[in-house]
Structure 1
């Protein structure tokens, strides 16, 4: 999906029945995601998945991060644990990216993610996002396209 298609999708609009749905909050998140996606595009990253990761080359990732922070006015592109700030709403430390945009994107460079599967094995990023974390049921993810 493109960002515009995502904005007009059921994921943002919500169901047509009268169930509670926070359309405005979801639209804000997609708009924020759009900002980050555009920043990633400017540094040559085009494999971006809305469930939280993008594909990068491990050898050029430091340069990519440096360039991303040149494009972002808040300099939020980091995954360093020491940069995390406690968030009382989630009751855990969160990345600057999350504090500013309420969106998390992690680089996938072929590494494990620290999240275990139903058999206790560490998963790679793509596998992690294709299952629910509590029941391990398969789920879809969406790739952002230009």
Structure 2
């Protein structure tokens, strides 16, 4: 197992910090394989977490193909939840490309399911879930949101101030405690 991502802290969160890993390193990390102390996590669902990462990879490779290289993942996937519902994340992009629809168009040209949209009207309910989900969630169980510096994400802090994704995604939704985040980096081919 790779040591690039540390064990969970005492609150069950990824320790504060940014952990840069390749997809291969992510698959071999605690976030997929589980904590070293398996007695404390007898129902750790490594096969489900691996399935999520396989689907994440499809989306991440599409982002890389259109020139997006700053991609971060978090959510309950970076916590000690045995079976997280999904993987959440964000990526840094250019405002003009996002506003013009060019980014969404380019991504949908690559994806056979045409899942790339952040239009609230495209959200659909899913049995047993309190909120409707985006098409990407229904197909891949992954939600990746575009981030443009200086723009809020709709998530507020304890004082009601809207946060940007980099700040919002570094806090646990269950209790607001700070936690780490994972940055994905492309593997380098050594031909």
Q: TM-score, normalising length from structure 2?
A: 0.74
- Measured on the aligned residues, the alpha-carbon RMSD in Å equals 1.0
Distance 1:14 1:90 in 2: 25
Q: Count the aligned residue pairs.
A: 146
Q: Are 2:59 and 1:39 aligned?
A: no
Partner of 2:25: 5
Distance 1:142 1:116 in 2: 21
Mapping 1:17-96, distance limit 5 Å = 17-18=38-39, 19-51=42-74, 52-61=89-98, 62-96=101-135
Partner of 2:145: 106
Partner of 1:130: 170
Structure 1 unaligned blocks of 5 or more: none
Structure 2 unaligned blocks of 5 or more: 1-20, 75-88, 187-191
Distance 1:108 1:99 in 2: 21
Quote how far apart the aligned CAs of 1:20 are.
1.1
Partner of 2:158: 118
List per-residue Cα deviations over 1:73-109 (Å, max 9, x = no partner).
0000001011111011322210000000000000001
- Secondary structure of 1:92 counterpart: coil
Runs of 4+ aligned structure 1 residues displaced above 3 Å come to none
- Secondary structure of 2:125 counterpart: strand
- Secondary structure of 1:40 counterpart: helix
Q: Kindly indicate which of the two structures has a greater share of residues assigned to helix.
A: 1
List per-residue Cα deviations over 1:62-83 (Å, max 9, x = no partner).
2111010000000000010111
